[in-house]
Amino acid sequence: MSTGVTCGIDWASDHHDIALIDHEGTLLARARISDDAQGLSQLLDLLAAHGDSAETPIPVAIETSRGLLVACLRATGRPVYAINPMAAARYRDRHAVSRRKSDHLDAMVLANILRTDAAHHRALPADSELAQSITVLARAQQDAVWDRTQAGNKLRSHLREYYPGYLAAVHDLRDGLASPTARALLAAAPTPEQGAKLTRAHLRTALKKAGRQRGIDKEADRLHAALRIPQMRQLPLVERAMGVKTLALLRQLEAACVSAEELAQAAVESFETHPDAEIITSFPGLGSLTGARVLAEIGDDRSRFADARSLKAFAGAAPVTRASGKSLAVMARRVKNQRLAAVGYVWAFAALTASPGARTHYDRRRDSGDRHTTAQRNLFNRFLGCLHHCLDKQLRYDETTAFPTRDQNLKVAAA
């Protein structure tokens, strides 16, 4: 049952404005609370005074899904709706055409959104504590990977200005500038002058420090020759100054690499203890780390996605149809969970070599005129449908069920 009362919270960094309204839109109470335990207690007392209970919790609308206030409200078991700020801005125009704005008005708008259109918004999922912890770790690891890429790009751009010989020497290394060998070499010789002075003994020491165990002498000879190839040079003082900057950028890259590795290990360890891990990693192209990223975004609340279509739309794998009169256009979905979409392309690409059915499906889409990205997105869409079914029924992935052959289809039709 519902009390007919809805709550809107306009949050800020140090305080929050609260508004409670009834089913007719009448303001029942308003308050400003602090962002601490005392403020939370004040909010819960205010909700209780207007009929809130464990059986009939008052739903809450707020413009964020993060923070201690949201976490504590979710822990009480009440429905919490994270309203997109852009959507809230559109609703605000319905209540104030003069474009006036205040924290109290925003709280009123959020409460009215639940009063009138709660069915069109989705409450935050009731994920388990383990799933929420995996979300924190997997997203942090993804952020660290993006930071590592950004730091590597900055360093590469800087090295092009004065040290092209080094870039040529490490060009073929796996992971590029982020590889331990490339980082150890640059730390030992941040300028062309220092690089040319490195002996084979110095290079062997740097390679061992980077963790290399085989082919050390051969690699040392290759790097020794590569760093002595003539190249254009900056003025001596300028070159040394650029070397100092290189070491500063290298420290940023080192920190990002270490963070990505440590967070990856923590995310994998937590993910492998989750009950859904066995099902998720049974899919071709999904390992423990990519599986953790998938679970981090879809959670383990089975009621979150009513069907496979809603999951596909959430991930951006399903297209969007725009129709008006005689005009009809089918386009890729832009509004989506960007993290899940990102891991989807990695998943689909890795599955091409791990699943014959996935490869056949991809080739068929390519032959029909799809570009590489479109074909990958369509394959990701297919996998999401299978994933939703497997998680719902607690089944492991089965290749023959996911991608039945023509002979299997004929047998089914005959039966």
**Token reading at 95:** 């209540």
Instruction: Write out residues in the chain with pLDDT < 50, as ranges.
Output: 1, 407, 410-415
The residue assigned the tokens 């770790």 is 137
Q: Residue 38: which CATH number?
A: 3.30.420.10
Q: Domain check: are 138 and 14 in the same one?
A: no
Output DSSP code: residue 99.
Answer: -
Neighbours of 415 (CB within 10 A): 5
Q: Cα–Cα distances in Å, from 355 out to 282, 351, 393?
A: 11, 6, 22
Say what percent of the chain tops pLDDT 90.
60
DSSP secondary structure, 51-67, as one string: T--SSSPPPEEES-S-S
The residue assigned the tokens 């982020």 is 178
Q: Cα–Cα distances in Å, from 147 out to 151, 174, 178, 256?
A: 6, 18, 11, 6
Sign for the pseudo-dihedral over CA of 253, 259, 260, 265: positive
Q: Domain check: are 99 and 21 in the same one?
A: yes
What are the tens digits of pLDDT across the range 360-404?
Answer: 999 999 999 999 999 999 999 999 999 999 999 999 999 999 998
How confident is the model at residue 354, as a pLDDT? 93
Output b/e per residue, 326-350; b: 16+ Cβ within 10 A. Answer: eeeeeeebeebeebbbbbbebbbbb
Q: Domain check: are 161 and 114 in the same one?
A: no
DSSP secondary structure, 287-348, as one string: -HHHHHHHHHHH-S-TTS-SSHHHHHHHHT-S-EEEEETTEEEEE---SS-HHHHHHHHHHH
How confident is the model at residue 319, as a pLDDT? 82
Q: Which of 124, 148, 182 is at the close of a domain?
A: 124
Helix axes 103-117, 85-95, angle to 10 degrees: 100
How confident is the model at residue 324, as a pLDDT? 79
Q: Which of 208, 241, 269 is at the close of a domain?
A: 269
Please state the pTM of the whole predicted model.
0.85
**Is 286 inside a domain boundary?**
yes
**Token reading at 231:** 């190249």
Q: Domain check: are 219 and 191 in the same one?
A: yes
**Is 176 inside a domain boundary?**
yes
Number of domains in the chain: 3
Q: Domain check: are 290 and 317 in the same one?
A: yes
Q: Domain check: are 153 and 256 in the same one?
A: yes
**Is 144 inside a domain boundary?**
yes
Nearest to 200 by CA among 180, 225, 236: 225
Q: Which of 211, 241, 269 is at the close of a domain?
A: 269
How confident is the model at residue 410, as a pLDDT? 41
Strand pairing partners for 11? 16
Q: Cα–Cα distances in Å, from 45 out to 33, 48, 50?
A: 12, 5, 9
Q: Domain check: are 397 and 293 in the same one?
A: yes
How confident is the model at residue 51, as a pLDDT? 86
Output DSSP code: residue 125.
Answer: P
**Is 1 inside a domain boundary?**
no
Q: Domain check: are 327 and 398 in the same one?
A: yes
**Max CA-CA distance within the chain?**
82
Q: Domain check: are 144 and 98 in the same one?
A: no
The domain of 383 spans 278-414
**Is 175 inside a domain boundary?**
yes
- Which H helix or E strand runs over 18? strand 15-21
Q: Domain check: are 301 and 199 in the same one?
A: no
Helix axes 356-367, 338-354, angle to 10 degrees: 110
Burial of 3: CB neighbours in 10 Å, binned 0-12, 13-18, 19+: middle
**Is 349 inside a domain boundary?**
yes
**Token reading at 223:** 């790097």
Nearest to 168 by CA among 230, 255, 214, 218: 230
Q: Domain check: are 187 and 287 in the same one?
A: no
**Is 129 inside a domain boundary?**
no
How confident is the model at residue 256, as a pLDDT? 94
Q: Domain check: are 389 and 327 in the same one?
A: yes
Please give the backbone phi and psi of residue 356, each rounded to the nearest 5 degrees, phi first: -60, -40
What are the tens digits of pLDDT across the range 233-261?
Answer: 899 999 999 999 999 999 999 999 999 99
**Is 234 inside a domain boundary?**
yes
